[in-house]
Amino acid sequence: MKYERPLLSTLRTELSRPARVIHVLIGPRQVGKTTIARGIEESIGIPTVYATADSPVPLDSAWIETQWRRTMAEGAPSGGPILLILDEVQKVRGWSETLKLLWDSRPKAPEIRVLILGSSSLLMQEGLSSLAGRFFLHRCNHWGYPECRTAFGWNLEQWIYFGGYPGAASFTENESSWKRYIADSLIETVIARDVLQMSKITKPVLLRHLFALAATLPAQSVSYTKMLGQLHDAGNTTTLAHYLKLLETAFLASGLELFSRGKQRKRGSSPKLVLWNNALINALSTRTFADALNDTIWWGRLVENAVGACLCNSLYSVEFEISYWREGAHEVDYVVARGRDVWAIEVKSGRSGKTTGLTRFRDRYPKARALLVGGQGIPLEAFFSKNPASWLV
């Protein structure tokens, strides 16, 4: 079946109106950003120019100027609006300054509407600072459970294991092929083209090993000292923290910090490793789907990581802050803060399980609200079927 992500309809509606801002679409590779852009091109009903900067040869601002003049030329005969779509725009040197100049000096006719796409959160945000007041940001996240259920007929266990990459869905019947596709076509492409080429990386092998380590320890807090002991040529903790942040800007993995309210956080605290898509974990694991289901401890890690991934994908850092909490033997899986509001989230993959961490946390922070996911709390199916923000009330 042909599935259309809801974001396509939202963007098509926005771009069908007179242009007031530049529309920006950011998100991971291979989750449908280009498909959405192409869908808009085919269905919006106005002339459209589509161009991509996803090239092995570095492009400069002249490329953007060329696409802009091409758009003006193609839109001039009709006199109506015309849409310009620029894909992977963060790869163009000086893209934001050039786009700002062109946008501010655009003529009244033809009316140019602009949609730009990018797969690097950091580079897009750095560029957008030059476009303050001129853009509206849309986020294209990893596919959640409801979308995979509708598009592929997956049950919850399949989504928890196979994650949410639509292009990989056709490979799931042959798990060996699926693992190779995720590792070669997704993980290696993102690290090689979106991280290593776009940032100054002095130890590229370390970056890859750090990601692989995170994939073997999903939803676990690991001290930087332990990481240094397991990684060759690891440098120092500052390097590891920086590389974790780069993996986050590529929508691959996060190192969540230890929660602390009312005092400065302890720098260098053990980060909790969360992969943004469970496919990234299982593609590098030797376990099959059946093996994972039968391994209670490992499946619990996958469920806990899936909850963390859901939070990272849906709760944006401008409004929400995601962390975890630990004090001695007591731990809370995730802590979400929004202003003065705090939610402590405990994840249970089975029916039983102690919640002493929640109790101790609420002793420390009496105004915090507790949320139990799985077990005797919110059923996993129900939790993953809604935007996590809807549970934070």
Flag whether 270 is in a domain: yes
Strand ranges (E), 243-340: 253-256, 272-275, 321-327, 330-338
Q: What is the pLDDT of residue 25?
A: 95
Q: Is 88 helix (H, G, I), strand (E, B) or coil?
A: coil
Whether 326 has a pLDDT exceeding 60, the answer reads: yes
Dihedral angle of Cα 164, 91, 128, 199, to the nearest 10 degrees: 80
Whether 110 is covered by a domain: the verdict is: yes
Give, in order, the Cα–Cα distances in Å from 266 to each of 223, 263, 269, 344: 13, 9, 6, 20
Q: H helices within 115-197, ranges in order? A: 121-128, 145-152, 156-162, 175-181, 188-189
* Statement to judge: residues 191 and 321 lie in one domain: yes
**pLDDT higher than threshold 70 for residue 234:** no
User: Residue 19 pLDDT more than 60?
Assistant: yes
Q: What are the angstrom distances between the C-alpha of 296 and each of 277, 281, 282? A: 20, 16, 15
Give, in order, the Cα–Cα distances in Å from 62 to each of 54, 67, 95, 97. Answer: 15, 9, 9, 12
Amino acid at 179: K
Q: Is the pLDDT assigned to residue 351 strictly greater than 80?
A: no
- Least confident piece of the model among 89-93, 279-283, 373-377: 89-93
- Cα–Cα distance between 323 and 9 in angstroms, integer? 33
Q: Is residue 1 situated within a structural domain? A: no
State both tokens at 90: 């963060």
Pair 304, 333: CB distance under 8 Å: yes
**In terms of domains, do 117 and 156 share one?**
no
Claim to verify: residue 181 and residue 248 sit in the same structural domain: yes
State the pLDDT at residue 112. 93
Q: Is the residue at 112 inside a domain?
A: yes
- The alpha carbon dihedral of 328, 330, 331, 336 has a sign of negative
336 inside domain: yes
Q: 90 with 110, same domain? A: yes
Number of H helices, E strands in the chain: 17, 12
Q: What is the pLDDT of residue 355?
A: 74
**pLDDT by residue (tens digit) across 193-219?**
778 766 678 888 888 999 999 999 999
Cross-strand bridge partners of residue 254: 274
| Confidence category of residue 237, pLDDT binned at 50, 70, 90 | confident
Same domain, 100 and 211: no
Pick 281 or 118 by higher pLDDT: 281
Q: Residue 189, CB half-sphere, CA atoms under 13 Å: how many?
A: 15
* Sheet containing strand 253-256, strands side by side: 220-221, 272-275, 253-256
CATH of the domain at 51: 3.40.50.300
Domain stop point among 95, 110, 139: 139
Q: Say yes or no to pLDDT of 373 above 80.
A: yes
- Quick one: 194 and 312 in the same domain? yes
- Domain range for residue 354? 145-391
Q: How far apart are CA 269 and CA 266, in angstroms?
A: 6
Among 108, 139, 170, which residue terminates a domain? Answer: 139
Average pLDDT score over residue span 258-277? 79
pLDDT band at 108 (very low <50, low <70, confident <90, very high): confident
Residue whose C-alpha is closest to residue 182's, from 117, 278, 298: 278
- Asked if residue 179 has pLDDT above 80, the reply is yes
Q: Which of 121-135, 279-293, 299-313 has the lowest mean pLDDT?
A: 121-135
pLDDT, mean over the chain: 90
Residue where one domain finishes, among candidates 99, 116, 139: 139
- 242 with 169, same domain? yes
pLDDT in tens, 77-104: 667 899 999 998 988 988 999 999 999 9
Residues 6+ apart with CB under 8 A from 86: 51, 52, 53, 64, 67, 114, 115, 116, 117
The pLDDT-based confidence of 262 (bands split at 50, 70, 90) is low
The whole-angstrom distance between residue 261's C-alpha and the CA centroid of its chain comes to 26
Taking a C-beta distance cutoff of 8 angstroms, is the pair 186, 108 a contact? no
CA nearest to 61, candidates 71, 50, 53: 53
Scan for tokens 């397991």, then name that residue: 230
Segment 118-146 mean pLDDT:
87
What would the pLDDT profile of 329-340 be if each residue is shown by its tens digit? 899 999 999 999
Is 176 inside a domain boundary?
A: yes
Does pLDDT of 109 surpass 90? no
Question: Do 65 and 186 fall into the same domain?
Answer: no
Residues 283 and 209 reside in one and the same domain: yes
Q: Indicate whether 338 and 219 sit together in one domain.
A: yes
Over residues 23-76, the pLDDT tens digits come to 999 999 899 999 999 999 999 999 999 999 988 788 999 999 999 999 988 875
- Residues paired with residue 135 on neighbouring β-strands, in sequence order: 22
Cβ-proximal residues to 146 (8 Å cutoff; 6+ apart), any chain: 384, 385
* pLDDT band (50, 70, 90) for residue 305: very high
Q: How many CB atoms lie within 10 A of CB 140?
A: 23
Q: Residues 131, 168: one domain?
A: no
Provide the residue type at 32 as one letter. G
Q: How far apart are CA 186 and CA 165, in angstroms?
A: 9
Kindly report whether the peptide bond that precedes residue 218 is cis, defined as omega within 30 degrees of 0: no
How many domains does one find in the chain?
A: 2
User: How many Å apart are CA 307 and CA 276, to the nearest integer?
Assistant: 10
Both tokens of 269, joined, read 């605290």
Residues 238 and 360 reside in one and the same domain: yes
Encoded tokens for 245: 């942040």
Res. 167 pLDDT band, cuts 50 70 90: very high
